Structure 1
Amino acid sequence: MPALEGTVLVGESFEPVTGRVVVEDGRIEAVEETDTASTDIILPAFVNAHTHLGDAVAKDAAVGLSLDAAVAPPDSLKHRRLADADRAELVTAMRRTLRFMQRTGTVSTLDFREFGREGARTLREAAEPLSIDPFVFGSGDASVLDVADGFGASGANDDDFGPQRDAAADRGVPFAIHAGEPDQTDIHPALDLEPDLLVHMVHAAGEHLERVAEQSVPVAVCPRANTVLGVGRPPIRDLLDHTTVALGTDNVMLNPPSMFREMAYTVRQFDVSAREVLRMATTAGAEIAGLDCGVVAPGKRAALTVLDGDSDNLAGSRHPVESVVRRATALDVERVIC
């Protein structure tokens, strides 16, 4: 493919470089500094660090409901709607959501998929015709790991996930678990399972942060969803000071899985820089899932989002990283290379 030219956000620091990205056989061959007339902005494609794509069958159905009423297993509105949906409806809803994510710059999503082996297979089917490649955290018993990429637990207060954690360790795949969303009672029990990823950590206190650092456990935060459900604000600054933090959009029934919206909300509401937020939306999620993307650098997979820097929204930008995080929208996406 022809080289991509414009302002390139290079490496983990996202340093803006005027030049071009040379791609060969699906990988970045070189990043070259050179004069160019292109106003495009080239950045890593996003990795959404936490979703529940099955919720796409019930968009906005939970408006005004509490966390338990909206999404808590096993009898919440979400789980009732999922149980009522047939396979074709689920596949169509998830495929359309994945297509939206792909068109808006996301190359992969770390999805917690309900309903065991069948649920994981349904998501695989939904993704088959698309370029976006979901990383599936399966549920149920340990046999789901025959189909899924890892295990995703609802929370340490909900069940005994020891067998699933052991099975994931035996297979060398990640074990992830929700923790600290409604309160902090499940955080220490979750950490006792030695997870590879914690999700939410809204109510993490100093004692939890110390354990997170000691165990080197990354965290996926979903600040918009936490706000919608009224559970509080994750201590993102403190989390960043202790571990790797990635950005997710959580339940599709609550919010569209737009990383642009999530980034803009996060940088405005929390004590974080635009560069930190962009890393949370790209590099961090890729590292957590072991994906060969998330950074524009030679040797990496060419998973890139190209923005029109001369769009009516972005024209005149003086600080590309700030503009990508604070201002850019789906309408500015010119091309997604997966």
Structure 2
Amino acid sequence: MYLEGIILVGPDFEPVEGRVVVADGEIVGLEERDTDSDDLILPAFVNAHTHIGDSIAKEAGEGLSLDELVAPPDGLKHRLLRAAGREEKVAAMARTLRYMEATGTGTFLEFREGGVDGVGALRDALAGEGVAFGERAVESVVFGRDDPDVLSVADGYGASGARDADFDAVRTETRDAGKLFGIHAGERDADDINPAMDLDPDFLVHMVHAEGIHLERLEDRGTPVVVCPRSNLVTNVGVPPIRELAERTTVALGTDNVMTDSPSMFREMEFAAKLSDLPAREILRMATRNGAEIAGLNRGVVREGADADLLVLDGDSDNLAGTRDLVRAIVRRAGQADVSRVVIGGETVVPRDD
């Protein structure tokens, strides 16, 4: 397989006219050459923090506080998940996976509620078990929750927050298993940030209320952070200090709960860019390479030897035609209507027949 157009190459997304050559799920060649294509070729997105189980409850809970919405064990989300049947949850997640593919996400890092069974339900959604439109190619790094036994089936452990439980034992088990440990911190206030950092996590999620001492600890430890600014705004907890965090550590973007926000990385990039006014290339790295680095994946960048997870946009769409700064336009204005092709694992998944 090969793709032609303007290729955004490497971690700085340098525009090069030419061809990307793909074989066996890998980028095996980048050829600089003249083409007749208006396509823009970039890495597929890595959505670094999701909760897609609550796809059964989109736009539920208007006016509720963060704790009333999602705090375990009796926030609205958890009550709705307990009341829903497995078939309903699998079907709803599968639809969200299809939407994520259509909007250019190749990989997502999921904090999966429900212990072993919750991870199993997500695996069924990916495999298309009992779902009319079949299996999905989008890949998940699953962080199980609610049960230490989940490490037997998950890629890591996703803790709700240091104030919710004592996670020392599960942190040790996760480390011993050679798996990743992530934890929510600083979403509601700053009180749980230091206890979360004391667990020496592989990454933190949210950090809306990070203060100077926390920023210094982040820089000293090199702990990555995943920010979800649209979700934080909707739940009325504030917005993360994206610029200050990015000055000190690796920052990736996530879309958080499907209940409150669509899992569109286009929308997340645009909001983060306009909120922080950071350079577009930095925001695009947050949506691609940085999330891949947190998960230890060989993707999120167009270079020889990387996984062939690619997003192709129509540079001559009504929305993108006339663009003077390609990366800025992708970050601040591109959307699903501009997507002409999505390649995951070297296979075209959009367009495809379901």
**Band of TM-score, shorter chain:** over 0.9
Give the aligned CA root-mean-square deviation in angstroms: 0.8
Task: Give the distance between the partners of 1:225 and 1:139, measured in 2 at CA.
Answer: 20
Counterpart of 2:232 in structure 1 is 226
1:79 aligns with 2:85: no
Counterpart of 2:351 in structure 1 is none
List aligned pairs for 1:83-232, cutoff 5 A. Answer: 83-128=82-127, 129-232=135-238
Percent identical among aligned pairs is 60
Task: Give the distance between the partners of 1:34 and 1:171, measured in 2 at CA.
Answer: 47
Q: Give the secondary structure class of the aligned counterpart of 1:176.
A: strand
Counterpart of 2:347 in structure 1 is none
Query: Is contact 1:110-1:136 (8 Å) kept?
Result: yes
Residue 32 of structure 1 deviates from its aligned partner by 1.6
Instruction: Identify which of 323, 327, 332 aligns with 2:333.
Output: 327
Task: Give the distance between the partners of 1:272 and 1:278, measured in 2 at CA.
Answer: 10
Counterpart of 1:313 in structure 2 is 319
Task: Give the distance between the partners of 1:307 and 1:334, measured in 2 at CA.
Answer: 5
Task: Give the distance between the partners of 1:57 and 1:319, measured in 2 at CA.
Answer: 39
TM-score by length of 1: 0.98
2:225 partner letter? V
Counterpart of 2:299 in structure 1 is 293
Deviates more, 1:79-88 or 1:264-273: 264-273
Instruction: Identify which of 247, 266, 269 aligns with 1:241.
Output: 247
2:37 partner letter? S
Task: Give the distance between the partners of 2:242 and 2:40, measured in 1 at CA.
Answer: 27
Task: Give the distance between the partners of 1:124 and 1:135, measured in 2 at CA.
Answer: 11
Counterpart of 1:49 in structure 2 is 48
Counterpart of 2:286 in structure 1 is 280
Counterpart of 2:349 in structure 1 is none
Q: Give the secondary structure class of the aligned counterpart of 1:134.
A: strand
Q: Which runs of 5 or more residues in structure 2 are unaligned?
A: 128-134, 345-354
1:157 partner letter? R
Task: Give the distance between the partners of 1:64 and 1:331, measured in 2 at CA.
Answer: 31
Q: Which runs of 5 or more residues in structure 1 are unaligned?
A: none
Counterpart of 2:131 in structure 1 is none
Task: Give the distance between the partners of 1:220 and 1:253, measured in 2 at CA.
Answer: 19
Task: Give the distance between the partners of 1:195 and 1:293, measured in 2 at CA.
Answer: 22
Q: Give the secondary structure class of the aligned counterpart of 2:139.
A: coil
Residue 83 of structure 1 deviates from its aligned partner by 0.6
Counterpart of 2:271 in structure 1 is 265
Deviates more, 1:200-209 or 1:65-74: 65-74
| Aligned length, in residue pairs | 337
Task: Give the distance between the partners of 1:182 and 1:17, measured in 2 at CA.
Answer: 44
2:170 partner letter? Q
